[in-house]
Amino acid sequence: MLQRLPVGVKNRFYMWHLMRRFGEIPPNFHPISHGLHLHNSREYRKADVIHVQWAHAPTLGPAFWRAIRHEKRPVVWTLRDMWPFTGGCHFSGACEKYASGCGQCPLLGGGGERITSDDVAFKAEHYGPQSVFVAISETIAEQARKSTVLCGRTIHVIPNSVQMSQLRAMDKAQARSALGLPANTFIIASGALNLADPRKGADIMRHMLNVYRGDKKVHWCLFGNGLAELVDPAPENCTGLGLIRDDVILNQIYSAADVFVMPSLQESFGKVTVEAMACGTPVIGLIKTPAEEIISHGQTGWLAKHGDADAVVAAVETARALPVALLRSVGVSARSAVIDRYSPEAIAHRYIDLYESLLSAS
């Protein structure tokens, strides 16, 4: 009877079983369990190149992996996070067990479980000789090279593309007026799907909001869910806009800011960093994250020590101390640095070159 259930239901049963055994499990953890038989599709059978753009458990089940293992055509795997080489987590946080084969997973209580080590062994066994790997940042590529699953494999780096057509450097006064933001203050913008997510730098943001609480010369503009969980009460000099799905409003937020703060501790790429820079706004990010690959320190933004909230505050103060014209010129340089490098056309050509090289070799 279980075999007749939809894949999504099977996976929910599987995760329910894990939670009964190990307790609460974060949503970004899911070892291989049940998946779609994508290898039976007409598109798969007729393709010259197989490209797995998004690898995760609810889609890729054991049957698909077994088909990939024996594939003769080139198979390209885009590494959008760490799941393709871990025992089930999409982001490992401070854990580096993926470099030694997983097992004793802290998410499963750290005991003698074999689920994660078996998951890692299965992946290592089923990536066939035709598999080629593309990380969307050097950060992810370095982690993949350290893993027991992909060590020794060639890892290409091709970043995500960012749709630039809606991103322009608006007049700051016009953008602030449209959002109801004060005209003559130093505006710091930041945003995430969940502002209270520790991986997104919630502790850094909480510290900064309290540092500038009551400072009438500074105003925050934040977008995303979780502001009340991040800081309660929110400072009076903070405008929370909630989750934004409108590209025009996002453009206004990025353009209205004097600086954009990207406090994430662990990212696979850094889309909002590129978006803010494309709108002519310098970004403050952390070293040891993909921000380090996007931002040129002191030229298109600033890089702060990883996890150091005071270092991020110091970077903000560096930006505040600049003459307005000089700060604006940093923003102009930021836009120039990303507008062509991350365009869909540029990234598409890099993939086309990769496909052509793989097909000519095979």
pLDDT tens, residue by residue, 122-149: 999 999 899 999 999 999 999 999 999 9
Tokens standing for 37? Answer: 């038989």
Closest CA to 124 of 92, 93, 107, 99: 99
pLDDT in tens, 14-62: 999 999 999 999 888 999 999 888 999 999 999 999 999 998 888 899 9
The pTM of the full predicted model, rounded to 2 decimals, is: 0.91
Residues in the chain: 362
- pLDDT score at 289: 96
- The proportion of the chain whose per-residue pLDDT surpasses 70, expressed as a percent, equals 99
User: pLDDT-based confidence at 3, cuts 50/70/90?
Assistant: low
Name which of 179, 181, 231 is nearest 204 in CA terms: 231
Q: How far apart are CA 291 and CA 21, in angstroms?
A: 38
Residue 1 has pLDDT above 60, yes or no: no
Q: Decide if pLDDT at 316 tops 60.
A: yes
pLDDT in tens, 233-246: 999 999 999 999 99
pLDDT at res. 297: 97
Burial of 136 (0-12, 13-18, 19+ CB in 10 A): buried
pLDDT, the chain, mean: 94
Residue 303, both tokens: 């890089």
Provide the pLDDT confidence category of residue 2 given band limits of 50, 70 and 90.
low
Strand-pairing partners, residue 77, are 52, 133
Q: Are 275 and 162 in contact (CB under 8 A)?
A: yes
Domains of the chain, each with CATH number or no CATH: 2-157 (no CATH), 172-342 (3.40.50.2000)
